Structure 1
């Protein structure tokens, strides 16, 4: 049995293409419900995110609507598999097959497993080391389980991919380096000034995308006293509802600065929100309390000279971007170690599959060979009728053992190699028939 994958990602398809090929929840439900019927009990997992659309399949004949009995042995050529997967995606999304075939790549066997492990460990992500993709892979697998669309190979592959990703997380630092400006600001700078965000008054200026991302990190970091200051209240109130914050208009910013412990700028204003002289007056009213200012805006929301005020710690976007760049370089250093871990886990996965698939056949083949050897050895000894002593009988037995082992070695080695390649040459079935080993294995 071989794992198949058809998909595209940010590496090879622009966002406008990925949008047309994405699987909504309805598309996923339809695909999971119909795949096994169309391909005679085949397995399927659908992974669809903003950066990738990938379908992982196993089992079944992968013919154009054929059942296993209709397709003979049920095994198809690479081209037949590719065309069947393309046709299935095209039918699910109601897109032309030519369009799907042009923009989606088909991977098979080890290449598909390698890719799945890279994806789960976030080594194939737009931001290498981001944590979200592993949970997305697990959710896709869980959804297929609930739909009854998984089977032996998808179970084994996705569970092994999860274990491999966890090893990368624990044995490298590739996931521990923050790469976005808000994540560095909240995750690395804030702890240098405050032991905790709980109880600290956080005043965030702006309500755009940078503000929203920053709010996510603030809430994750334990912030429980948030205030969003924005010129337009509608957007600010929408964010406040999501993140449990209160809102103030820009006219109230001065009073909020006096009350703040952490002040964050994320607006798109052309001029600083507060001039240096006014900020000095406001800081004088703070009674010497520490104020951390994170200016994430371009142009800057606060003049650099406010960092000279007593008790004020100012970090501007260039400082934070430099930290992001350092972190990115550190992640890149960890990539070879992470990839080596995945290679180990892929090899272990195929060794497990090989043992599971070839073990019974090899055992039966050896049993059959031992039966023939024993019968022929006994026939020879009977003919010799006691003409050999014990030591000569032992040598004859050893010769029969060596002959059997030498005859069995090539087919067994070929069978193991074929299993590691996903049984692409069909040797497992060939051995069953050639040596009459039975179909119950």
Structure 2
């Protein structure tokens, strides 16, 4: 197998370049079709997310996949990006390095937030699009299925994914879950419509929330965010009514001072709630809620400082799991490469067996014709002897091939065996 990967990631390229090279779903299908037409003997898969754009190409033989410069040209030319634009920002990997990289990506070891769960679904989606487009073949089937297996091992055998480190994920999974056992019946109010608000909504919906109201000073942005997540945009003037009705509130505006003052909350909101539990996540800097709001009966108020401390503890716990995760990646990569190298030896092994089996059968027939009076037990004993002899003769070259396959493709040994035993290609 010949495997190559070229692309850009958050580690080496800026967001502007990643956006220039990004592919939507329809673009991905179109690009895969174009590349298959340009390189008909190769297989392709394209992984495009906000943090990376990676093109994988594989071929069954050493020359059936495009060279690195050809892949770079294919990737850049689709969007008309000049080569000078990407100097020093493209990643190029070959064979084992490409395998290990995909495994680390799928297991979320190469993510901006290590251990985040979204990337595995994105890798699955990239693989499925390659399959649906007819761009995946045996080599990429083996590669991506083994990558998913490696990711599952990391998930199941380490605690890497148990420790959330992003503010919104900790807010919902580690804090809000202490107050509410379920979210599908809760009235959620999101104050603000920026990135933090949107990411928190994503985690809320993953937890089951469906009744999401968005309040923002810009009604257009509130409508846009609410529509994207099937929520309801509410006019800013209804903020205090929404606070009275809500079960869970997210504060994520860029206001220069608190927008919810304790005195007004006590006077306007508290009487209507009648001590019904209200969980407030104040994710804004400066704060959207005065700290004294949290002193009201039934109110659970957590600030960004509270969440940041929990995130830091989780980062330390997650870091302790990284060595075990990396060991799994190395073991899975070793196993994949050894299996790939062994597959190369298959035709030669078959040829060796055939070259010994054919004369064995011929000589047994000749012997049995000369000894027609042999009983069945004796004939069986002679056949068994011949089989054992063939296996013993095959053992040294097969053992050598197996050992050589652990280090890399044993092309030199294979060529020597072909010449020595006059095996056909």
TM-score, normalised to structure 2, is 0.84
Q: C-alpha distance in 1, partners of 2:218/2:31?
A: 43
Instruction: Write the deviation string for residues 163-206 of structure 1: whole angstroms up to 9, x where unpaired.
Output: 11112122222122222212111112111112222332222211
* Residue matched to 2:113: 127
Say whether the 8 Å CA contact 1:3–1:56 is kept in structure 2: yes
In the alignment, is residue 278 of structure 1 matched against residue 264 of structure 2? yes
Q: C-alpha distance in 2, partners of 1:344/1:199?
A: 45
* Residue matched to 1:228: 214
In the alignment, is residue 149 of structure 1 matched against residue 135 of structure 2? yes
**Bigger mean CA deviation after superposition, 276-285 or 328-337:** 276-285
| Structure 2 CA distance for partners of 1:240 and 1:24, relative to 1, 3 Å | closer
Q: C-alpha distance in 2, partners of 1:249/1:37?
A: 53
SS at structure 2 position matched to 1:226: strand
* Residue matched to 1:387: none
In the alignment, is residue 13 of structure 1 matched against residue 13 of structure 2? yes
Q: C-alpha distance in 1, partners of 2:192/2:266?
A: 22
* Residue matched to 2:162: 176
Q: C-alpha distance in 1, partners of 2:276/2:171?
A: 20
* Residue matched to 1:379: none
1:174-323 → structure 2 map (5 Å cutoff) = 174-281=160-267, 282-323=269-310
Say whether the 8 Å CA contact 1:39–1:61 is kept in structure 2: no
Cα distance, 1:317 vs. partner? Answer: 0.7
* Residue matched to 2:366: none
Q: C-alpha distance in 2, partners of 1:102/1:221?
A: 41
* Residue matched to 1:83: 69
In the alignment, is residue 330 of structure 1 matched against residue 317 of structure 2? yes
* Residue matched to 1:51: 51
* Residue matched to 1:66: none
Q: C-alpha distance in 1, partners of 2:11/2:149?
A: 25
* Residue matched to 1:357: 344
Cα distance, 1:161 vs. partner? Answer: 0.7
TM-score, normalised to structure 1, is 0.81
Cα distance, 1:425 vs. partner? Answer: 4.1
**Bigger mean CA deviation after superposition, 270-279 or 414-423:** 414-423
5+ long unaligned stretches in structure 2? 364-381
1:346 to 322, 333, 337: 333
| Structure 2 CA distance for partners of 1:349 and 1:215, relative to 1, 3 Å | same
Q: C-alpha distance in 2, partners of 1:324/1:402?
A: 64
Q: C-alpha distance in 1, partners of 2:199/2:52?
A: 21
1:3-42 → structure 2 map (5 Å cutoff) = 3-25=3-25, 28-42=28-42
Cα distance, 1:401 vs. partner? Answer: 6.2
Say whether the 8 Å CA contact 2:2–2:60 is kept in structure 1: no
| Structure 2 CA distance for partners of 1:419 and 1:152, relative to 1, 3 Å | farther
Instruction: Write the deviation string for residues 290-317 of structure 1: whole angstroms up to 9, x where unpaired.
Output: 2222111111011112222222211111
Q: C-alpha distance in 1, partners of 2:418/2:159?
A: 48
| Structure 2 CA distance for partners of 1:430 and 1:290, relative to 1, 3 Å | same
Say whether the 8 Å CA contact 1:40–1:61 is kept in structure 2: no
| Structure 2 CA distance for partners of 1:345 and 1:60, relative to 1, 3 Å | closer
Say whether the 8 Å CA contact 2:251–2:288 is kept in structure 1: yes
Count of residues in Structure 1 that have an aligned counterpart in Structure 2: 406
| Structure 2 CA distance for partners of 1:200 and 1:83, relative to 1, 3 Å | closer
Q: CA RMSD in A?
A: 3.3
Q: C-alpha distance in 1, partners of 2:84/2:291?
A: 56
* Residue matched to 1:68: none
SS at structure 2 position matched to 1:44: strand
| Structure 2 CA distance for partners of 1:46 and 1:248, relative to 1, 3 Å | closer
Cα distance, 1:107 vs. partner? Answer: 1.4
Q: C-alpha distance in 1, partners of 2:413/2:27?
A: 37
Q: C-alpha distance in 2, partners of 1:248/1:100?
A: 44
Say whether the 8 Å CA contact 1:230–1:236 is kept in structure 2: yes
Q: C-alpha distance in 1, partners of 2:194/2:32?
A: 37
| Structure 2 CA distance for partners of 1:162 and 1:202, relative to 1, 3 Å | same
5+ long unaligned stretches in structure 1? 63-73, 377-393
Say whether the 8 Å CA contact 1:174–1:331 is kept in structure 2: yes
**Bigger mean CA deviation after superposition, 278-287 or 47-56:** 278-287
